[in-house]
Amino acid sequence: MAVKIAPSLLAADFAHLADDVERVAPVVDWLHLDVMDGHFVPNLSFGIPVIEALRSVTDVYFDCHIMTTNPDVYLGELAKAGISLATMHIEAVPDPTRAMERTREQGLDFGLVINPGTPFDAVAPYVERCDVILVMSVEPGYGGQSFMPEVLPKVEAAREWVESHGLRADIQVDGGVTTENAQQITSAGATVLVAGTAVFRADDPPAAVEALRRAAETDE
């Protein structure tokens, strides 16, 4: 089964972002962009001008993981900056209907995210209107944390829901993904793996992407 690899730019070299993006772009499926506001999560990252600048160096699919309070406020500007997909936390938009509509109006793909402590049930009613369900495998805010295996049953629940309802949403997992756990995560049903540290802190990031892909697609 083909798995999408989405390196998270949070672990890249911020003094040479364009170089890092151009280096991995030929081998990645998506590029994962973590936007943080220091309020919904206890950290700041980067925002619209950086995304816009990166769009001028690549055509790759921009997967924008929005970790802000009121995640729909900047949708128009994020769309203009060149994102492809907006994912929002159900903890930030408990009723995501309007946010979903506004995302579609911008011509973007839409996804919902659940934190480690949030049950899959919180997003189940909306899966049919989502392109992606993102299951966080660390508390959002920082790269370099350890994968939480206790979220795997939620990945299975999401996969089971998608299949039993004949849906096509991707199941994405974000946080602490490595070549050691990639196979376990895709066996549980994930179709998109986000990896920051495992890609950009490796000596050879493109090779690290391919190693993750091989690990993820290996049969048990």
- Quick check: 86 and 103 in contact, CB under 8 A? yes
Q: Which of residues 54-73 bind ligand DX5 (CB under 6 A)?
A: 65
Identify the CA nearest to 141 among candidates 65, 217, 57.
Answer: 65
User: 5 or 127: whose CB is closer to ligand DX5?
Assistant: 5
Binding of residue 149 to ligand DX5 (CB under 6 A): no
Binding of residue 176 to ligand DX5 (CB under 6 A): yes
- Apex 118 CA angle, 112 and 142, nearest 5: 75
Binding of residue 89 to ligand DX5 (CB under 6 A): no
Give the span between the Cα atoms of 172 and 47, in whole angstroms.
22
User: 167 or 207: whose CB is closer to ligand DX5?
Assistant: 207
Which residues belong to the active site?
34, 174
The torsion defined by the Cα of 197, 200, 206 and 208, in degrees rounded to 10, comes to -20
Binding of residue 133 to ligand DX5 (CB under 6 A): no
Among 140, 172, 181, 215, binds ligand DX5 (CB under 6 A): 140
Binding of residue 32 to ligand DX5 (CB under 6 A): yes
Tell me which residues touch ligand DX5 (CB under 6 A): 8, 10-11, 32, 34, 65, 138, 140-145, 174-177, 194-198
